[in-house]
Amino acid sequence: MLRQWYQKHEKALAISLASLLLSTFLMNLEFNFLESALYDARMRLGPQPETSSEIVLVALDDYSTSKLDEFSPLPLDQHVRFLELIEGYRPKAVGYLVDLARSAQSFPESLQSDWSSRLISSASRLEATGAPFLLGTRFDVNGEVVPPYPLSLLPHAIAMIHKDGNVFGEDKVTRRALVNLYGRNSFHLDLARKLGLSDQLKSLRGQFAEPGFDADYVFFRYFGNTQYYPNQPSKNAYPVYSFIDVLDGKVAAAELAGKIILVGTIARDDSNDFTYTPYSKKQGTNPKLIVHANVLNSIMQDRGLVEAPGWFHFLITTALISFVIWSVFTYTPLYGVINTVTLALGFLLVGQILFMARGLWIREAQPLIGIFLSYYLTVPYRLIQEYKQRWDYQRRNDILLQVEEMKTNFIRLVTHDLKTPVARIQGLAEMVLRKGGKRLEADENENLKHIVESTDELNHFISSILELTKVESNRVTLNLESKDVNQLVEKSVERLRLKAQEKQIEVELELEPLFPIRIDTSLIAKVLNNLIDNALKYSPDGSRVHIQTLDEGEFIRISVSDQGIGLSEEEQAHLFTRFYRAKNDLTTQISGTGLGLYLTKYFVEAHDGRVEVESSIGKGSKFTIWISSNLQPQPGLFTASDTLANNKRSDSL
């Protein structure tokens, strides 16, 4: 029982085992370079989510520094003027991403003045009005870089932009955001908490820990247009205003009222102000300030990207590999290629839809490599199997050809050897019947007549077998000559007239005058004899057989109609096959070989013609043949003129 089950499911088990082994091998390899490229493509393609209308950016750009005749990140007095100005605009929150530690280093005298205290007081007043203020600080190998006292009293958090330098793509691309570090919230999470993100939310959607670091990250989304257009706020994903324009009152208070204002530097002379992302039209021109806005937007909406678990990647890889292997072994090579490419494209499309619509990130590197690797590993194996099968088929075919040749030779030998004794038996029986018939009893005369009839049937059967061997060995030779078909019809009728008279069957001829055509008279005569003989054999006594010829241009049509027993549709479907005879009470009483109509069809088709039958049970049958008026020899059939020409060429050689 178990063996039968195994034999029944052997193919499925082999495919499953191969898929599991290949999937296990692939899941233990890292393809981060390819995976990061596929991740970037998914992030770049399709519509980007809408940005938050609450976030507004104020950029300390080159235009601002040139107008103020200062250099980034500006002395404290300019920042105090800015904060005291926007206090009156009543913003929703202020995230300050200017590096005040560098500002203090560049302008140390400002720490001793009242500018630092005014800055702290302005931040406190914003907090008092319900507008959180948060300073973003840098992080280096020594930890958080906090501005010197008293600026360190400002609410602050680490605002580090993470680049995949030694993880994932290792290409300095910003794809993930820091959530917390050493138990402390990052700038973006802390500001989102201050703005109402639930403290009960233990972790963000898609949050994960990086092995070896006491830090959590999340893959964030890029919202809207990721390309930065300086001095063109309407074209940016987030409204971007120059620092100097706000100071000069060129930005209306309504543009900043009730908004989350992120203040940061966008200075092209400072490489720290720009981060490399793959999602802008000109790589390397996406400022950190816009990246900070996207990170904050993702955290506020809790729309981090969720990576599917490892077991899911393993299952999907195994399933795809199984389908490819099954497809290669089931379909033709062309369909195998089409199925493989369609599967890969379909998988990418589904991954893109899930990525954009549900924020689900399915790793695609292993499944895609598995699809094409399994195809290229399976195709050679299938070719080897097909070559082996083809070799087996060839060997069996050679054996069958030898057996067929032996059978043909044996039948030809036996039938030729049978012809002589059968003819001798028939001749002796006819001689005894003719010379001694008067001296024999009636029963003895009847037995002699049966012997003559039986030998005649046997001789007809031997002739049919010989014709069959010629057909199957493709040794039929067309001896073409111009002949009037009507003459052949009349000779066949004359030959069978005695048989018709014995059954009192009237044979009607309706022969249209015909031009002579090139035919093999011997083969066509056999066709006509067989059709007319069948019509007489299967027609009742006193009925009528109608024979008609007609010139139809390219063909000569000959039809033989009788009023016999008729044929069912099932019998008509098998009528022209070898050794087939209709199964009814009358046919079992009439002798026959079942080869006549098979040979008839072959001989007619050898003349570029066709044969058809129309019949109804109890109403008779009508056999119609069409013979080409302009015969061209078919491949494998040789005319007498061809044989003669070949002999002449051989003689000349």
Q: What are the residues whose beta carbons fall under 8 Å from the beta carbon of 408, sequence distance 6 or more?
A: 469, 472, 473
What sign results for the dihedral spanned by CA atoms 169, 173, 179, 182?
A: positive
DSSP H/E element including 526: helix 521-537
Q: At residue 561, what is the residue type?
A: S
* Sheet of 610-616, strands arranged across: 506-511, 544-551, 555-561, 620-628, 610-616
Contact of 612 with 636, CB cutoff 8 Å: no
Q: What are the residues whose beta carbons fall under 8 Å from the beta carbon of 287, sequence distance 6 or more?
A: 59, 228, 264, 266, 273, 274, 275
Mean pLDDT split into 10-residue runs, the chain, 653 residues: 69 89 92 89 81 90 87 88 93 93 82 86 93 91 83 91 82 87 91 83 85 86 70 71 92 93 76 52 63 91 91 95 92 90 95 90 94 92 84 83 69 65 75 71 74 73 67 69 90 88 90 88 88 87 91 90 85 76 57 73 86 88 89 51 36 31
Measure the CA–CA gap between 437 and 593, rounded to whole angstroms: 31
Beta bridge partners of residue 561, listed in sequence order? 546, 622
Q: Which pLDDT belongs to residue 381?
A: 86
Question: Looking at the whole model, is its pTM more than 0.75?
Answer: no
Tokens of 341: 């490419």
Q: What are the residues whose beta carbons fall under 8 Å from the beta carbon of 333, sequence distance 6 or more?
A: 379
Q: Which pLDDT belongs to residue 6?
A: 63
Measure the CA–CA gap between 280 and 570, rounded to whole angstroms: 73
HEC secondary structure over 106-154: HCHHHHCCCHHHHHHHHHHHHHHCCCCEEEEEEEECCEEECCCCCHHHC
DSSP notation for 559-572: EEE--S----HHHH
Tokens of 184: 């402390």
Measure the CA–CA gap between 587 and 538, rounded to whole angstroms: 8
Domain positions in the chain: 1-49+309-475, 50-302, 476-640
Measure the CA–CA gap between 545 and 560, rounded to whole angstroms: 7
Contact of 116 with 79, CB cutoff 8 Å: no
What does the angle CA 257 – CA 261 – CA 266 come to, to the nearest 5 degrees? Answer: 135
Q: Which pLDDT belongs to residue 284?
A: 45
Beta bridge partners of residue 156, listed in sequence order? 135
SS3 label, residue 521: helix
**Nearest C-alpha neighbor of 514 from the set 495, 486, 554, 542:** 486
Taking residue 302's Cβ as centre, other Cβ atoms within 10 Å add up to: 16
397: left (phi > 0), else alpha (psi -120 to 50), else beta?
alpha
Q: What are the residues whose beta carbons fall under 8 Å from the beta carbon of 110, sequence distance 6 or more?
A: 75, 76, 77, 103, 104, 116
Q: At residue 192, what is the residue type?
A: A
Going by the DSSP 8-state scheme, the letter that residue 235 receives in this structure is G
Measure the CA–CA gap between 371 and 340, rounded to whole angstroms: 7
Q: Which pLDDT belongs to residue 234?
A: 61
In the block, tokens 């926007």 appear at: 86
DSSP notation for 87-101: HTT--SEEEE-S-HH
- As assigned by CATH, the class of the 476-640 domain is alpha beta
Going by the DSSP 8-state scheme, the letter that residue 272 receives in this structure is G
Q: Which pLDDT belongs to residue 276?
A: 53
In the block, tokens 């202020």 appear at: 94
What sign results for the dihedral spanned by CA atoms 49, 54, 59, 63?
A: positive
Q: Which pLDDT belongs to residue 282?
A: 45
User: How big is the chain by its Cα radius of gyration, in Å?
Assistant: 49
Q: What are the residues whose beta carbons fall under 8 Å from the beta carbon of 343, sequence distance 6 or more?
A: 320, 323, 324, 327, 371
